[in-house]
């Protein structure tokens, strides 16, 4: 299949060829890669199981991994999900504060949502993207879109249209290019019950921000849901990755090509084959938005090892660390230097 990348030149309410093309493909039950404020998503009609199956095929994603349903507007919320009366006030507050934006809520599913979307679970993950291009296309489409990150299963999420092409070129008809995504990491996923907020995946909305809305409970690895975004190994570069506290004290074996994903500014340059600094001014937002691009760049250099310096664990840093920890999980470090 030929994959076309088209630059988004959308203006609110404008009828452009790009938007029409995307909407037409979605109506036909095809998949389209779209920018969101977090990472690029691979979108399809959430209410059309055959269209959704194409997402799983293109990504080689196992069917047991449920998708996030993106809503055109808040009216759609209670058509796809049930909002529990006990949690209603709290959920409404969270939505008022964070939607549209990078917060995904796991709620009870309505039967209109096909089983393939939720992988047979009786819950559904929903969010509303704030990206103007995504918002315009989904509102023209007029129905919810299922959209996982636009990468092959288990790999690093795409934060540019080029990344999407590298991952899925030849497998999907259209990529809408709106430049690098703002947040650079995937949405925060929560479930709300008994006044408590379970954080199922850390993301741009931090636990500090959520703490105003209820008692926080960080759920590390759920046993009853086979949800790879929450499994320890995910977001993996091909190159083994190891987390370290500080590059200054990292000792190298001879003949190893090691790349550094740096947080700290003063770096012993000669010891590394390549260095990518997450943020020169140590700004966690900038670091999050650069994270996956830096990882991809290092991953393309045929290194023996990538070492990543730990970032501070507060605020957005916790979400960055979470991705780095997962990326380091299935790394085979047996033949890399100690
Ligand atoms: O920022 C994002 O959330 C991006 C953009 C494209 O919206 N999407 C994204 O989707 O990251 P994906 O499929 O890569 O990750 C969704 C995660 C998966 O780990 C999945 O297991 C989890 O959400 N998930 C989906 N439905 C769930 C449910 N009902 N209960 C628990 N986890 C769920
Ligand atoms: Mg993903």
Starting from the CA of residue 38, give the closest ligand: 1
Residues in contact with ligand 1 by the CB-under-6-Å rule are 36, 38-39, 41, 65-68, 102, 104, 106, 118, 121, 123-125, 147-149, 186-187, 189, 200, 225, 227-230
What is the pTM for the complete model shown?
0.91
Which residue from 44, 52, 56, 67 has its CB within 8 A of the most atoms of ligand 1, so it is best to mutate? 67
Q: Which residue has the tokens 């809408």?
A: 176
Q: Considering the chain, what is the average pLDDT of its residues?
A: 91
Tokens of 57: 């095929």
- Out of 110, 227, 233, 316, mutate this one to test ligand 1's pocket (max ligand atoms within 8 Å of CB): namely 227
Q: Where are the beta strands (DSSP E) in 204-284?
A: 215-218, 241-244, 258-262, 274-277
CA distance 93 to 99: 10
Neighbour count for residue 217 (Cβ, 10 Å): 14
What is the C-alpha separation between 159 and 52, in angstroms, rounded? 22
Dig out the tokens for 202 from the structure. 């850390």
Structure tokens, 212: 């105003």
Atom of ligand 1 nearest to the CA of 183: 1
Question: In which band, very low, low, confident or very high, does the pLDDT at 267 lie, cut at 50, 70 and 90?
Answer: confident
* Closest to 49 in 3D by CA, of 122, 146, 134, 143: 146
pLDDT in tens, 94-147: 999 999 999 999 999 999 999 999 999 999 999 999 999 999 999 999 999 999
How does pLDDT run across 17-59, given as a tens digit for each residue? 889 999 999 999 999 999 999 999 999 999 999 999 999 999 9
Distance, CA of 22 to CA of 131 (rounded, Å): 15
Asked if residues 41 and 181 have their Cβ atoms less than 8 Å apart, the reply is no
Cα-only R_g, the chain: 20
Output the six-digit token pair for 310.
């730990």
DSSP string, 62-73: -TTSPPEEEPSS
- Which helix H or strand E contains 163, and what residues bound it? helix 161-168
Residues 6 or more apart whose CB falls under 8 angstroms from that of 223 comprise: none
Q: How far is the CA of 229 from the centre of ligand 1 (A)?
A: 7
- Give 188's strand partners: 103
Q: Which ligand sits nearest to residue 167's alpha carbon? A: 2
Give Cα separations from 223 to 220, 226, 273 (angstroms): 10, 7, 40
C-alpha 175 to ligand 2 mean position (Å)? 17
Instruction: Kindly report, residue by residue over 202-217, the tens digit of the pLDDT.
Output: 999 999 999 999 999 9
Neighbours of 85 (CB within 10 A): 7
Cβ atoms of residues 124 and 106 within 8 Å: yes
Give the Cα separation of 33 and 303 in Å (integer): 30
Residues with CB under 5 A from ligand 2 (ion): 149
* pLDDT higher than 90, residue 266: no
- Distance from Cα 148 to the centre of ligand 1, integer Å: 6
Measured by CA distance, the residue closest to atom 21 of ligand 1 is 227
The three state secondary structure string of 167-234 is HHCCCCCEEEECCCCCCCCCCEEEEEECCEEEEEECCCCCHHHHHHHCEEEECCCCCCCCCHHHCCCC
The residue contributing the CA closest to ligand 1 atom 32 is: 227
């Amino acid at each position: 299949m030929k994959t076309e990348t088209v630059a988004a030149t959308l203006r609110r309410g404008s009828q452009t060829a790009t938007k029409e093309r995307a909407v037409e493909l979605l109506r036909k039950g095809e998949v389209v890669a779209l920018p969101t404020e977090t990472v690029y998503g691979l979108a399809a009609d959430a209410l059309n199981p055959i269209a959704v199956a194409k997402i799983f095929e293109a990504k080689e994603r196992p069917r047991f991994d449920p998708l996030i349903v993106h809503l055109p507007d808040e009216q759609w919320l209670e058509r796809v999900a049930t909002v529990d009366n006990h949690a209603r006030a709290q959920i409404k507050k969270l939505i008022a504060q964070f939607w549209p934006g990078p917060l995904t809520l796991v709620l009870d599913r309505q039967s209109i949502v096909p089983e393939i979307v939720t992988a047979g679970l009786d819950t559904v993950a929903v969010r509303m993207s704030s990206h103007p291009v995504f918002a315009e296309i989904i509102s023209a489409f007029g129905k919810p879109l299922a959209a996982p990150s636009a990468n092959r299963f288990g790999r690093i999420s795409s934060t540019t249209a080029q990344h999407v092409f590298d991952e899925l070129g030849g497998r999907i008809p259209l990529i809408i290019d709106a430049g690098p995504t703002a947040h650079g990491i995937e949405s925060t996923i929560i479930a709300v019950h008994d006044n408590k907020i379970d954080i199922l995946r850390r993301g741009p909305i931090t636990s500090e921000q959520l703490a105003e809305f209820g008692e926080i409970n960080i759920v590390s690895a759920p046993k009853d849901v086979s949800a790879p975004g929450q499994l320890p190994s995910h977001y993996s570069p091909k190159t083994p990755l190891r987390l370290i506290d500080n590059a200054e004290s990292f000792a190298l074996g001879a003949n190893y090509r090691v790349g550094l994903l740096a947080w700290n500014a003063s770096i012993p340059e000669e010891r590394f084959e390549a260095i990518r600094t997450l943020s020169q001014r140590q700004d966690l937002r900038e670091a999050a938005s650069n994270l996956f691009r830096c990882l991809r760049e290092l991953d393309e250099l045929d290194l023996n090892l990538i070492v990543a310096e730990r970032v501070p664990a507060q605020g957005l840093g916790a979400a960055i660390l979470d991705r780095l920890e997962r990326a380091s999980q299935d790394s085979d470090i047996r033949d890399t230097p100690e």
